[in-house]
Chain A
Amino acid sequence: MIKNYNMYYRGTLLVSLLFGLLFIGPMVSATSVDQMALTNLEGYPGKTIKQEISLEGTDAEEKSGFWYTRYKEVENDSERMDISSWITIEPTDYTIKPGETKVFTVEVKIPGNAGPGLWGATSEEAAQEGHANERRTYIVFKDAMGEGNVYSGLLLPISVNVLPSPNPLVPVLNFIQQNIMIIVLSFVIIILLTMLSLKKRRGR
């Protein structure tokens, strides 16, 4: 009788546990990113900078989300602070499964008339802790589970250091610097050969 009671008790406990598991939702969920900032990217006016960034699903469930750009408006900001129109992220929409990693391409198209200097942030230290006030332009990703109305995401500051238009002589100078030994030797050989031929002519 006691044995039967124990078995019944254990059975009830097991069923209760399994039933309880049905009502436990997915545990704490988050999406990870491999970079917390894309600041001080360098490029020339009219050129496009490409940078990869990846997300990893660390949830127990699939999440759907998207990327967008954002400008944090601050009074008396210069026009250099909002570079959101320069930026595209491909693909924009995503779905990420548990344990999956997805790579996105951030393209920053620098306008041809952009002046040299920093754009999108007020200082080159904007990505560092304690410098939140120096950030202006961000790329943002956010996602949610299923048909949910609660999203979670991260604000990633982005800035571009536009370089002065390159000097057309730079490639020539680089070539000379890389091959200085051959150039000098060739030059000397040519001089010596010229001198020898001149002497021969004089000898005649």
Chain B
Amino acid sequence: MQKLMRKMLEKMNIAVVLALVLTMAGGFSGVTYVLAANTATQEASTATASTISVVGKVADSAITTITFPEGAPSATISAPYNDVDTVSDAQVLSGTVSEPAVRLKNTSGGTLNVTLEITTWTNGVAASEDYELVDTTDTTIASVASVLSADGNAASVATAVSMGTGTYKALYLELALSSVAGKTGASTLTILGETP
């Protein structure tokens, strides 16, 4: 009888241990119990991010070049023009009826801060270059004084000007020629946008 009892107890122990192990394993395996399916649909979208467009003084036509007319060595050239408006409609500096060299248009889905960059003027033709970036409604730009490049070399200027979506800004440029005579030089101007 005692033998039978001992055997039964041993079998019960094994059964209990197995049951405990299974319970623990179930717990450890991280079973997730979903009590209710409460779901809600959410939706979001972001606007497109695009570069700032450089356009003509009046029309939204993209410009490709800005040209400074020839000048005497050490002269200041204040009437650059773009390839859309041509030399017949160059930049005008005036306290009342000023007109920019080009306009910038933000076609991006969000506000952009504007940074201007130029590469070094070739053949050392430039002594310095200045800019003004203002609202298009401002026609009182008689002088261009913000420094873009102090020595005609490559430079980058964070203008601290922000452009909202769909807005325009007027860009005025002025170039001081160096004392070099009889040379033609070139430089590229870059308009960079950045999330404010």
Task: Using CB atoms and an 8 Å cutoff, list the residues of chain A in contact with chain B.
Answer: 24-37, 58-61, 127, 129-130, 132, 140, 142-155, 157, 180-181, 184-185, 188, 192
Contact = CB atoms under 8 A, between A and B. Distances in A.
Contact of A184 (B21, B83, B102, B112): B21
Say what secondary structure dominates the interface of chain B: mixed
Which one of B24, B84, B105, B194 has the greatest number of beta carbons of chain A within 10 Å? B194
Contacts of A188: 17-18, 21
B66 interface: yes
B65 interface: yes
B interface, size bucket: 35 or more
Interface in B23-71: 24-26, 28-29, 48-56, 59-66
24 contacts: A25-B56, A27-B61, A27-B62, A28-B53, A28-B60, A30-B53, A30-B107, A32-B49, A33-B49, A129-B110, A129-B196, A132-B113, A140-B192, A148-B64, A149-B66, A149-B187, A150-B63, A151-B191, A152-B53, A155-B115, A157-B195, A184-B25, A185-B21, A185-B25
Contacts of B196: 129-130, 132
Contact of B50 (A31, A157, A185): A31
B120 interface: no
Nearest to B18: A188
B157 interface: no
Contact of B192 (A30, A35, A155): A155
Contacts of B107: 28, 30, 58
B190 interface: yes
A180 B51 CA distance: 53
A184 to B, nearest CB: 5
B149 interface: no
A109 B169 CA distance: 39
A33 to B, nearest CB: 5
B58 to A, nearest CB: 12
B8 interface: no
